Amino acid sequence: MPPRRVIGIDAGGTKLLGGVVDEQLVVHHRVRRTWRSADRSDTLDTFIEAVEEVRAAAPEVEAVGFGIPSLVASDSGASLWSNHLPLDGVPFRDLMSERLGLPVYVDNDVNLALLAEHREGSAKGARHALMLALGTGIGGGIVIDGRVYRGATGTAGELGHLVVDMDGEDCPGDCPGRGCLEVVASGRTIGVEAEAQARANPESALGRRLEADGELSGMFVTELAHSGDPGALAVLESVGRHLGAGLTGLVNVFNPEVIVIGGGAIAGGELLLEPARAVVAERALPPSRDAVRIEAAHFGEESGMVGAALFALSGGQA
């Protein structure tokens, strides 16, 4: 009997990644989309188009799991609020199910990424774990006593909106906060800090690229850092240390066994993680600082897609 197959969709603030995934977590077909506009109807159409693209290659799929960058009502599957996509108040689960004609399961994107990492990845076997996904923003997920923790109203885990500087810069998107961890340690921050470096050093590799393109992406900066460029290395170290400051607070509060770092910015690897670990070692309280591991996501940027598929395979049980 062939293995069951579902579709997993992971949506972030900049892009969408999806695929057909079977019970052995083998990905058979993939799709990647970027958001065309900030229009709600267009955003919802992009979700549908992505599902239909991979469904055409595997019409036998039995359900779809969605991880969305939103506060999600666990009972209704409605999107309550999203910092980066126009999904506030959308009855997401019911709307997608009606349009697709398939069972649909939906949760916060990083809750599902952590589900994948906890079951089969870098947090496997841990009873207490956290995950931060560094992308356009910073999403978070929490496992307490072996289960994904959702809080009183199902919307816990917004670790990227931990305030690390109450007088800091405004948080991007629709967040009403200032000085959130997302401001100082996201994938977007890598590009912002690199542009500041480039303006200060216009003859540097970063400066020349900014002059040519008018902007610097986090991915370009990361690639340049891996090639040994001192300016790009300094940016990743700075962002890594800011990340470590946020992780220090999380270590002190939650006493986790492992913190998994994922999202697109994890392409920085140890160039980002080593500075973060150093700050945690310097500043977190014992014995929590000695017990915690800070690890890259096993599934890389596909953690959310795999987790969304797992959520669908289990009928919405995490």
Residues 51-74: pLDDT tens digits? 999 999 999 999 999 999 999 998
Q: What are the DSSP calls for the chain, one per residue?
A: -PPPEEEEEEE-SSEEEEEEEETT--EEEEEEEE---S-HHHHHHHHHHHHHHHHHH-TT---EEEEESSEE-TTT--EEE-SSSS-TTB-HHHHHHHHHTS-EEEEEHHHHHHHHHHHHSTTTT-SSEEEEEESSSEEEEEEETTEE---SSS----GGG-BS-TTSPBPSTT---BSBHHHHHSHHHHHHHHHHHHHH-TTSHHHHHHHHHSS--HHHHHHHHHTT-HHHHHHHHHHHHHHHHHHHHHHHHH--SEEEEESGGGGGTHHHHHHHHHHHHHHSPTTHHHH-EEEE-TTGGGHHHHHHHHHHHTTS--
> Residue 2 above 80 pLDDT?
no
Q: pLDDT over 70 for what percent of the chain?
A: 100
Tell me which fold the domain 125-297 belongs to.
Nucleotidyltransferase; domain 5 (3.30.420)
Give residue 152's pLDDT. 87
Residue 155 has pLDDT above 90, yes or no: no
The answer on pLDDT for 13 being more than 80 is: yes
Four-way CATH pick for 5-113+302-313: 3.30.420.40, 3.30.450.20, 3.40.1160.10, 3.60.15.10: 3.30.420.40
pTM: predicted TM-score of the whole model, two decimal places: 0.94
The 10s digit of each residue's pLDDT in 247-300 is 999 999 999 999 999 998 999 999 999 999 999 999 999 999 999 999 999 999
Residues spanned by CATH 3.30.420.40 within the chain? 5-113+302-313, 125-297
Quote the mean pLDDT of the chain.
95
Which pLDDT score is estimated for 76?
Answer: 93
